[in-house]
Structure 1
Amino acid sequence: MKPFLIIDPSIHSINGTSMFFMIIAFYIIPFLIVALALIDVLRNEFEGSNKLIWVLVIILMPVLGSILYYFIGRNQRIKR
């Protein structure tokens, strides 16, 4: 008796182009989002210890922390 497979591996193959776009979508874009958020935090001034808090949030929760920083943290910067 042949074992039942839900997904037949012979049907689903990933070619080089698909792998290239998967690498960009799941590795490069999130890395850029996190890197740009950290750079933005470090280049600007914040009141009190907000800078340290945002750096920790971005490092501990990289993608979610970066998105939160862009929506919430950028408004907390001290205007020059």
Structure 2
Amino acid sequence: MLHVDLLDSLSLNMLLSNTILAQTTSNTWMYIFLVLGILYFGLILFCLMDVLKATFKDPIQKFIWIALILFFPVLGSIVYLYMGRKNKIS
């Protein structure tokens, strides 16, 4: 009887420790994705606001940059930061 109770308590302890580990890992990933999501939307919002406030040499460039950022958010934002900011007048 004691032997069975000991095995039951050991398996219960293992189950609880695995559950706690899974919850901790899940919470860690949740915070990582939260930070990445904030950075993602922050980058897009920053680039869109910068394009809207800027004056470009050719007026059609503003429309092209906005479309590029909206249709390809990460790639469009990175390309704008690298190339588009050089083409604006102010």
**Shorter-normalised TM-score: what interval?**
0.7 to 0.9
Larger Rg: 2
> TM-score under structure 1 normalisation?
0.75
CA RMSD of aligned residues (A): 2.0
Higher helix proportion (structure 1 or 2): 2
Once residues 31 and 73 of structure 1 are traced to their aligned partners in structure 2, the CA distance between those partners, rounded to angstroms, is 19
Structure 1, unmatched stretches of 5+, are: 1-9
Residue type at the aligned position of 2:75: L
Show the counterpart of 2:80. Answer: 69
State the identity as a percent.
34
Structure 2, unmatched stretches of 5+, are: 1-17
Once residues 32 and 70 of structure 2 are traced to their aligned partners in structure 1, the CA distance between those partners, rounded to angstroms, is 25
Query: How many pairs does the alignment contain?
Result: 69
The reply on whether 1:24 has 2:35 as its aligned counterpart is yes
Q: How does 1:34-49 map to 2 (within 5 A)?
A: 34-48=44-58, 49=60
Once residues 80 and 87 of structure 2 are traced to their aligned partners in structure 1, the CA distance between those partners, rounded to angstroms, is 9
CA deviation after TM superposition for structure 1 residue 23, in Å = 1.7
